[in-house]
Structure 1
């Protein structure tokens, strides 16, 4: 596997030798000093170019980056699906190589770059032939810090969490596994993850990022809470699904109540009690029941 220095040397060499490329900058985890380095980090690279057409017409130029395992062209896919995409201004090649390295490369015109360049605090200039890249402060992940909630946001998260649990419960009881699993994954888990993120943010004065999709939850949660969080995942067995559901409720309750106390919010304890009682009843309800209770 080519190492980091080899990859950067290659990325710069290609840019230096191609007159169409006028500048290079980088986004993503490799610009974040708070992210641990590993071999799976992408190289999120942008080439500022004179135009995109010639790059798109002859794609053989990307072969210079290495032996390709697979390529995705997201803007092309969006365009073919009817999306409102300006291929003349911005185009991407997400490239996975046979040695395991990955480059997410975008080519952008100068006009497009000037609109986007300062929109992400995780940005580092690498190369500039024409001094066209605007001056920016040092890279920081502040744009990704957990934002302190207002009470309305907190109430909405709690209310939606407890309300939508009934849908998961009836899906389990009906043995509608796809419905129950997706209701949990697409509605309940995002609310749990929001509370987890707020709780983590609260521990660090809301100057921290728990990572994309909570990938650093295990770093910032206490050992107890991380073990509980892992228990919110289950297999397809009904008994295990119920266990994970109640564990989800317990974790949500503990963290949400701590947030309420710290931020002087009101935790909806009655919704919690009533829905928890409802869930226990549904769990014990015979499959052939004619009435609910």
Structure 2
């Protein structure tokens, strides 16, 4: 596997030699001082180019970066699907190489760069041929810090979580595994994650990021809460799935109550109690 130094040298050498590329900057985890580097990190690179059409006309230019396993062009796919997107202003190439390295390379025009450069706090300039990249603060993950909830947001999260756990339970009782799992993972877990985010945020004065899909939970949650979180993942077994659902409810209540205390909100205690009675009845009637 090529080293990070080799990859960065390659990325910049390609840019320096191509007159169409006028500037280069990087986003993503490799710019985040709070993330421990590893070999699986992507290279989130932006090439500021004079125009994009010539790159699109000859797609073979990307092979300069190495032997590919696969490439994805999300903007081109959107265009093919009839989704309105201007690929002449911004166009991405997501490339996975045989040595395990991955470059997520986006081409943007100068106009597009002027609209977005520096708005992501995880931005590091790498090359500027024409002096177009303005001075920006040192990279931090501030753009990704958890935002404090309003009372309405908190209530909505609690209400939706408690309402939707019944749908999961009904799906399990009917042996409708795809429905039950999808309802849990897509709807219920989203609310669970939101509450966990708020709990973690409240413990760090809302100056912390939990990463995409909570990927830093293990580092940010105390062992007891992390242990509960792990148990929210279950097999296809109906009894085990019910237990995971119950555990998710327990975890949600614990973090939600503490978030409520911090922000002087009120948790839906009575609704939670009644829903747990209802879930227990379904569990005993249909699974035991």
What is the TM-score normalised by the length of structure 1?
0.97
SS of match in other structure, 1:119: coil
Runs of 4+ in structure 1 off by over 4 angstroms are none
Write the deviation string for residues 92-128 of structure 1: whole angstroms up to 9, x where unpaired. 1100000000000011110011111122111111000
Q: CA deviation at 1:261?
A: 1.2
Structure 2 CA distance for partners of 1:286 and 1:182, relative to 1, 3 Å = closer
Q: CA deviation at 1:197?
A: 0.6
Write the deviation string for residues 195-220 of structure 1: whole angstroms up to 9, x where unpaired. 11111111100000011110000000
Which residue does the alignment assign to 1:163? Answer: 163
Which residue does the alignment assign to 1:66? Answer: 66
Q: Which runs of 5+ in 2 are unaligned?
A: none
1:256 paired with 2:256, answer yes
Which residue does the alignment assign to 1:290? Answer: none
1:194 paired with 2:187, answer no
Counterpart CA distance in 1 for 2:286 and 2:170 is: 12
Which residue does the alignment assign to 1:277? Answer: 277
Q: CA deviation at 1:137?
A: 1.0
1:204 paired with 2:204, answer yes
1:19 paired with 2:19, answer yes
Write the deviation string for residues 247-278 of structure 1: whole angstroms up to 9, x where unpaired. 00110111111111121110110110010000
1:151 paired with 2:181, answer no
CA RMSD across the alignment: 0.9
Q: Which runs of 5+ in 1 are unaligned?
A: 288-293
Counterpart CA distance in 1 for 2:248 and 2:203 is: 21
Which residue does the alignment assign to 1:28? Answer: 28
